[in-house]
Amino acid sequence: MMPTTPVPNSVDELKDKPLKEVNRVRNMFPETWLWVNTTVGANGSATIRTIVPDTITSWITTAFATNSKTGLGITPSSKKLTVFRSFFVSLTMPSSVVRGEHVVIQASVFNYLSSDVSVLVSLPGSKEYTSLVIGDDGSESMSSGDAEKAVIVKSQGQTAVYFPIIPLAIGAVNIEVSARSTLAADAVRRQLIVEAEGVPTEFSVPVFINLGSNGSNVFTQTFPISMPDDVIDGSTRTQVKVTGDILGPSINGLEFLLRIPTGCGEQNMIKLAPDLYIANYLTASGQITPAMHTRVKHLIETGYQRELTYQRSDGSFSAFGNSDGAGSTWLTAFVLRVFHEARPYVYVDDGVLQRAINWIIDHQNQDGSFNEFGHIYDQEMKHFKDHSNGLTSFVLLSLLENADVPVSQNQKNSLQWAIGNATDFLENNHHNITTDDYLSLTLTCLALTKAGSPVADTLFTAVMSKSTTEHGMTFWKTPTGSTSTIDPYSRWRPTHVRARPIDIHVTSYALLVYSARGLLQEGMEVLHWLTRQRNPYGGFASTQDTVVGLQAMTEFVHQAVPAGYDLHLEVRAQHTEAHFNVTTSNSLVLQSKDYSYVPPEVTFSATGKGVAVAELDVFFNVESDLGEPAFEVSTVLLDDYLNSFKVMICTRWLLPGESGMVVQEVGIPSGFAPDMTSVGHVAGIKRSEQKGRYLDIYFDKITKNSLCYTVMFDRQSKVAHSQPSYVITQDYYEPSNRATASYQSLSLKNSDVCDVCPDCCHKA
């Protein structure tokens, strides 16, 4: 029998031994690896040299090849590559926690050496967290120094060591643990995301700078910044962003334009279209680089492939494909337009377009109008059900843009006949548009302008009569009675409040009319207003306003905004100054300056020539929503145990009528994971999926009747003193209609480290 190395009496005793040093801290742990294209030589082989990730695991590799003569070849079987070390340490911990929670970092030391080893396991001290020292009686004390423990690890075995900590800093906190013995050493670094308590909130203050081309103009503007009374301490941060290109914020925020789930065919298109419009703008303006082209191509290709899964067997599209009762006229026309524009970037099957066109033509009414047969989740688009002018205009625009799709002569004749009939219907029925239906009015004006109809002039006069001009900006503000919305800032107002999605939507269509009619100088006032409505990520308030807003801006800016930048911007915030230079060579670069605080005011001063867009973004957490709730949300804890619990969530609509599609983001307590099967098949729930720290529940709609469901949560890692979790409910297409509720397990709230980690303690 092999003799066992005696356990050291103390850490100090082990530190006196000649311990091995750590050569490299392992910190690269990707979930997927080695997506590489290569050219195979004439001998049929290729060599790829790369660095193996730090994960101790087995990688499953596959490959495929294409050849112009032999076609597609696929490896008949996968191969396994095992990454192994004879001595290593692995960390088990949650990916994120909330400040104030007590987190146990579990370091498991694995020993596949031929002998037992004594190991010094260390967690260095840090200003980003404090270590918890557990006394023999279970009492807790805090230490800012290194946490070190001496253990013995048997040959071919493992030993777990526990380091309880309390994170102090908000953001990404590095957790680095080393394991050293006289025979081998290893170290691992992982990141623990620490979030602030409360409800995340943000607002932005846009600054549109137009110095002209003579170089003699000066711009100065000061913005006071106020904050709510219940801001969570330490949760505030501010960012100033500057770009020369008006589309710069949207270009740099492609992946984040719409920070919303992508769960159906309607939502997928709403994320795909902005990517395409940005790509069109970059290509048309000659600014697209190979890296940008690769980036947008990937986004467009992914969206295209995903959307194909929502095409029904009859050629139409709907939110959930063949599982829906009927295809959607609006969504089919929307897909048709976007797919047609995507052809320069990705392969689009002409058959997909032809089948969609045929379905639309087959469902045209005898008078040339179109009806909606499917279910539309977007409340703004739902008015097409009762307003045939708007839907017919939308479909006509799609058919006009697809007139060049290769089809048979009979299909081409049918398409031209459908276009003519739709145009005739709009010319003969535009007077039926109600006075408060600004969306149908601007959309019909755009469609008839594109169709070359003389009636477009009459409609343009009507569109202009509905406009509002203030402070050098022109926009369209729909009557408040046309939509059910709640003021998102009833108890505090930020420096700048973005317009309602419907107003952005209508104004964007109006800007498209300006572009189509060549009214570039007049349209600058509309563009100015739209640039002030974007969110910190380059999108707008909701979905359709982001889609149409970016379409309008990309088309207009390419035509109307002259190239050439030489502008210097100074930003003064409290006692600091930041300087930005915007030139033609860096106009697409998003320059930024971060602050860990919110200054009472910010001053922007610019000299030079050209156009620039600056933005002040303020991020913070609050204890509760800043506006009145549009939903009533209640939570009840059931089966409340230390390692598992169940919560029941009930929701009902408080405004007139019923909501549109609703997404409910259920916060997941730190260290827990939801049992996805526990949600079950509740009537009204369309789907559920986990996204990071949230469980997203989709509803077709929420009515006046309370809708309830339950979710079971099970412990995955060791976290004590759990903070409340939040349930954020919002109308998918009208985000200002929202409500926030919280829930907290009493067992978790009152727990300590010894409760969640008995091995951490040695209570007498």
Q: What is the mean pLDDT of the chain?
A: 88
Distances (CA, A) of 574 to 222, 595, 600, 603: 12, 11, 7, 9
Rounded mean pLDDT, 2-8: 51
- pLDDT of residue 259 exceeding 50: no
pLDDT of residue 381: 61
The distance between the two most distant Cα atoms of the chain, rounded to a whole number of Å, is 99
Encoded tokens for 725: 């979790």
Q: Of 156-165, 321-330, 558-567, where does mean pLDDT reach its minimum?
A: 558-567
- pLDDT of residue 124 exceeding 80: yes
User: How many CB atoms lie under 10 A from the CB of residue 362?
Assistant: 12
Distances (CA, A) of 383 to 361, 379, 389, 482, 738: 21, 7, 10, 10, 21
| pLDDT tens digit sequence for 237-256 | 999 999 888 888 887 766 66
pLDDT of residue 386: 56
pLDDT of residue 500: 87
pLDDT of residue 293: 84
pLDDT of residue 374: 85
pLDDT of residue 15: 84
DSSP string, 595-660: ESS--SEEEEEEEEESEEEEEEEEEEEESS-SS--SEEEEEEEES--SSEEEEEEEEEE-SSS--S
pLDDT > 70: percent of the chain: 95
| pLDDT tens digit sequence for 192-218 | 999 999 999 988 888 989 888 777 789
398 or 324: which carries more pLDDT confidence?
398
Degrees to nearest 5, angle at CA 504 with 344 and 321: 55
CB-CB contact of 369 with 432 (8 Å) = no
pTM: 0.81
Binning pLDDT at 50, 70 and 90, where does residue 183 land?
Answer: very high
| pLDDT tens digit sequence for 342-391 | 999 999 999 999 999 999 999 999 999 999 988 776 666 655 655 689 99
Within the chain, which residue ranges are assigned CATH 2.60.40.690? Answer: 623-756
pLDDT of residue 705: 94
Binning pLDDT at 50, 70 and 90, where does residue 758 land?
Answer: very high
- pLDDT of residue 131 exceeding 80: yes
- pLDDT of residue 444 exceeding 50: yes
Could you list the beta-strand ranges (E) of 251-348. none
Rounded mean pLDDT, 120-126: 96
d(CA 28, CA 57): 13
Domain covering 623-756: architecture: Sandwich (2.60)
- pLDDT of residue 421 exceeding 60: yes
Q: Which one-letter amino acid corresponds to residue 671? A: G
Degrees to nearest 5, angle at CA 69 with 68 and 70: 105
CB-CB contact of 654 with 631 (8 Å) = yes
pLDDT of residue 378: 64
CB-CB contact of 30 with 53 (8 Å) = yes
pLDDT of residue 265: 82
d(CA 135, CA 144): 16
**Which of these, 375, 270, 357, 271, lies nearest to 319 by C-alpha position?**
375
Degrees to nearest 5, angle at CA 118 with 115 and 121: 130
Residue with tokens 């909701």: 542
For the chain, what's the residue count?
764
Within the chain, which residue ranges are assigned CATH 2.60.40.10? Answer: 11-25+86-197
Sign of CA dihedral 455, 458, 462, 463: positive
pLDDT of residue 12: 84
Binning pLDDT at 50, 70 and 90, where does residue 261 land?
Answer: very low
Binning pLDDT at 50, 70 and 90, where does residue 1 land?
Answer: very low
Q: Of 62-71, 417-426, 527-536, where does mean pLDDT reach its minimum?
A: 62-71
Rounded mean pLDDT, 651-671: 92
What is the phi-psi region of residue 282: left when phi exceeds 0, alpha when psi lies from -120 to 50, beta otherwise?
alpha
pLDDT of residue 106: 97
Rounded mean pLDDT, 463-473: 94
3-state helix, strand, coil in the chain (%, to 5): 30, 30, 40
pLDDT of residue 718: 96
For 11-25+86-197, CATH gives: 2.60.40.10
- pLDDT of residue 260 exceeding 70: no
pLDDT of residue 379: 60
Rounded mean pLDDT, 270-293: 84
Rounded mean pLDDT, 407-421: 92
What is the phi-psi region of residue 564: left when phi exceeds 0, alpha when psi lies from -120 to 50, beta otherwise?
left
pLDDT of residue 240: 93
Binning pLDDT at 50, 70 and 90, where does residue 104 land?
Answer: very high
Encoded tokens for 358: 């045929």
d(CA 41, CA 77): 21
